[in-house]
Amino acid sequence: MGAGGKGYKAPTLQLEKLLALGLDQRTTENALVNSKVTANLGAVIAEAGITCCDKSVGNLLYAVATKYPNNALVHRPALIDYIVSMKIKNPAQLDAALSFLTNVGPDPLDTGKFEEACGVGVVVSIEEIHSTVTKVLHENMEAILEQRYHINVGNLCGQVRKRHPWGDAKATKEEIEKRLAEILGPKTEADNVKPVKTKKGKPAKPEEKKVAVATVAPPSEDLNPYSHFPEPAENNKVHTEIFFSNGNIWRAHNTKEILEKHLMATGGKVTTRFPPEPNGYLHIGHAKAMFIDFGLAKERNGYCYLRFDDTNPEAEKKEYIDHIQEIVHWLGWEPYKVTYTSDYFQALYEHAVELIRKGLAYVDHQTAEQIKEGRENNLHSPWRDRPIEESLKLFEDMRRGLIAEGAATLRMKQDMQNDTRNMYDLIAYRIKFTPHPHAGDKWCIYPSYDYAHCMVDSLENITHSLCTLEFDIRRPSYYWVLVALGLYQPYVWEYSRLNISHNVMSKRKLNRLVTEKWVDGWDDPRLLTLAGLRRRGVSAAAINSFIRGMGITRSDNSLIPFERLEYHIRKKLNKTASRAMVVLHPLKVVITNLEDGEVIDLDGKKWPDAPADEASSYYKVPFSRIVYIEKTDFRLEDSKDYYGLAPGKSALLRYAFPIKCTEV
């Protein structure tokens, strides 16, 4: 600019002007001292064409000024229009919009995809928020009752926000706080005491001229992974609260009499079960289940059943039953007893009759599609309120094979308006005219997993019913059956599934690979089935070491690198797989300063970490006047980056001595 020219000066943003946008005093003052923010905010206000607005709009415009991606400035006026017109009205929507625009950059904006990505037009009713809050509180009830008013409300809000990203955050927080007050009652003195945070002390500096001697901390796999599980005698606490749409709450727990009867039957011992369905071969995820089920029983000097969950005769085979028993023994586990859900078919049938007599089950004639539609729309079955005697008669006809397959089911009368889908009148029995691989042709009605699993756990006096996290949503129905029948209730605990990178870990998908012949059977070494790993040469000890090294946690969606499994395989092989040397492409070497006929026996390691004081860990390598090395370990012309043998150069022989090439 020349000395006589006129310069351009950006418009000054006065404090009052920003306060008129609803910004608070501190935010405004911080904006005015930052020239970059001031310039951006001035441009945003100019594009918005407003002088005053609601506080929520002002905060969003301020966020645009500070967060907007530089690669998409061409679309900023459009975004500001969405904010001013209240189509984008909360920070979650704005964050989604900014993320979308960052990916779009200067390219043309697809408004349809943009509005879908940031929830434009989506209305989350207060009723939906209240319903989801109820569900989240139910899922976290154990932690709420334990931590009371010290529970992390922000975490609970986050769980609701995950399901309703465009919902009113303030209404969510207020509803959670209100419901917590209803559940926990007035605050006690203990609730007002802030939890003490323990600070890690700084390690003391070692004194000069002193040598510190330390031991290596044991790796995580040496810690006891079962320490957090309660003892059987503690199983009188409330397992879970089952919330009903009419306001009723069932607090599932064992009475003193029921628990005493259970402890008398088990002798107070931990009793677990490994319950695979015999519809395929086991994969490495089942090794984790075995480690938890059998391992807890072994650690507590208790019992673990191997129970075949055989309620679906169409998918089950004797081949799978035999394989499962074999692979359980191969991994080093010994079942207390081998049982089958079908062993309890008579008891399950009698309890189903009891549910009908109590008015808690009914025979339904809807098709599978009609039941699905009813569950999706929270509609009662037209046969839900049929007379008890009529359901008893029809259920007996089902058992005797007098009703066609698919023409009737027995459904539990739970709660079709519940916040949990797994309380939508689940099916307890269906008709299948299929012989059973274990029970034969005695039955033509078979119980469902949701009905049978919890009851057989109770009948076998299982103390700890352990399963993966996808069964967490089944807790209410699990305990509903047991509370309805007044039966003993095991302690249920869910853990994370095992997911390994670059590998198929679903039995359904593995079954498809096998049946469609994409692989060479269930024991194809490319699969992570236990049979495939065994055929590959992996030891049971390596698999158990890998599982133990991960521990037992509830953290879901974690992907374990395949290299971690390889590490444990290699670690075990380094102690068991004997090594030897071989020369594939030999080059003859004459040791000129060693006499003919002289042989020196050298020690070669069988394993990389062979202990020096164990003779059995070594083998003898004869060293004589004539030896052979690989052709690739010799060159006629040496170079700086070459470490092999060359004329006039020395190289070290493994387990032997350095040799020097004097002649070729």
Model pLDDT, residue 218? 37
CA distances from residue 589 to 420, 583, 634, 648 in whole angstroms, order as listed: 78, 13, 10, 14
Closest CA to 135 of 418, 478, 414, 426: 418
Instruction: With H, G, I as helix, E, B as strand and everything else as coil, classify residue 286.
Output: helix
**Residue 449 near residue 412, CB atoms below 8 Å:** no
- Count Cα atoms within 13 angstroms, Cβ side, for 327: 29
- Count Cα atoms within 13 angstroms, Cβ side, for 238: 14
**Residue 386 near residue 411, CB atoms below 8 Å:** no
Model pLDDT, residue 196? 61
* DSSP labels, 95-130: HHHHHHHHHHTTSPP-HHHHHHHTTTT----HHHHH
Considering only 2-6, 334-338, 491-495, which range has the smallest mean pLDDT?
2-6
Mean pLDDT of all residues belonging to the chain = 86
Amino acid 154 reads G
Q: H or E stretch including 299? A: helix 284-299
pTM of the complete model beyond 0.85: no
Handedness of CA 307, 568, 573, 614 (dihedral sign): negative
Model pLDDT, residue 158? 85
pLDDT of residue 73 exceeding 90: no
**Residue 661 near residue 649, CB atoms below 8 Å:** yes
**Residue 276 near residue 335, CB atoms below 8 Å:** no
**Residue 444 near residue 429, CB atoms below 8 Å:** no
Closest CA to 65 of 36, 106, 28: 36
Where does 400-474 have alpha helices with state H?
Answer: 449-459
Burial of 553 per CB tally in 10 Å (0-12, 13-18, 19+): exposed
Question: What are 170-179's pLDDT values in tens digits?
Answer: 889 888 988 8
Query: Which residue do the tokens 């879970």 mark?
Result: 240
Backbone φ, ψ for residue 622 (5° rounding) = -75, 130
Question: What are 441-480's pLDDT values in tens digits?
Answer: 899 999 999 999 999 999 999 999 999 888 888 999 999 9
Neighbours of 462 (CB within 10 A): 28
Model pLDDT, residue 263? 95
Specify the DSSP class assigned to residue 615.
G
Query: Which residue do the tokens 């032997």 mark?
Result: 656
Tokens of 466: 């352990």
For residue 436, give every residue at least 6 positions away whose Cβ sits within 8 Å of its Cβ, in sequence order, or none.
310, 313, 316, 342, 442, 443, 446
Q: Extract long-range pairs of 521-529: CB within 8 Å, 24+ residues apart.
A: 522/280, 522/281, 522/323, 523/281, 527/283, 528/283, 528/284, 528/500, 528/503, 528/504, 529/281, 529/282, 529/283, 529/284
Query: Which residue do the tokens 């002649």 mark?
Result: 663
Distance, CA of 39 to CA of 322 (rounded, Å): 75
Distance, CA of 35 to CA of 41 (rounded, Å): 10
* Residue bearing the bigger pLDDT, 478 or 162: 478
The rounded Cα 582 to chain-centroid distance in angstroms is: 45
Task: Give the mean pLDDT of 560-578.
Answer: 88
Of 135, 298, 507, 534, which residue is the catalytic one?
507
Q: Which residues is 105 bridged to in the sheet? A: none
Model pLDDT, residue 232? 93
**Residue 374 near residue 366, CB atoms below 8 Å:** yes
Of 148, 384, 497, 605, which residue is the catalytic one?
497
Where does 400-518 have alpha helices with state H?
Answer: 449-459, 475-485, 507-515
Question: What are 194-223's pLDDT values in tens digits?
Answer: 666 555 455 555 444 444 333 333 344 446
pLDDT of residue 360 exceeding 60: yes
Of 277, 299, 326, 354, which residue is the catalytic one?
277
Considering only 67-81, 321-335, 464-478, 547-561, which range has the smallest mean pLDDT?
547-561
* Residue percentage of the chain with pLDDT more than 70: 92
Q: CA dihedral defined by 440, 446, 450, 453, rounded to 10 degrees?
A: -30
Distance, CA of 338 to CA of 325 (rounded, Å): 9
Specify the DSSP class assigned to residue 210.
-
Strands 491-495 and 586-590: unpaired
CA distances from residue 369 to 376, 389, 409, 410, 441 in whole angstroms, order as listed: 11, 27, 13, 16, 28
Model pLDDT, residue 89? 85
- Is position 497 annotated as part of the catalytic site? yes
Closest CA to 451 of 431, 472, 422: 422
pLDDT of residue 163 exceeding 80: yes
Closest CA to 165 of 132, 139, 209, 207: 132
Amino acid 219 reads P
Question: What are 208-265's pLDDT values in tens digits?
Answer: 444 433 333 334 444 678 888 889 998 888 888 888 888 888 888 898 899 999 999 9
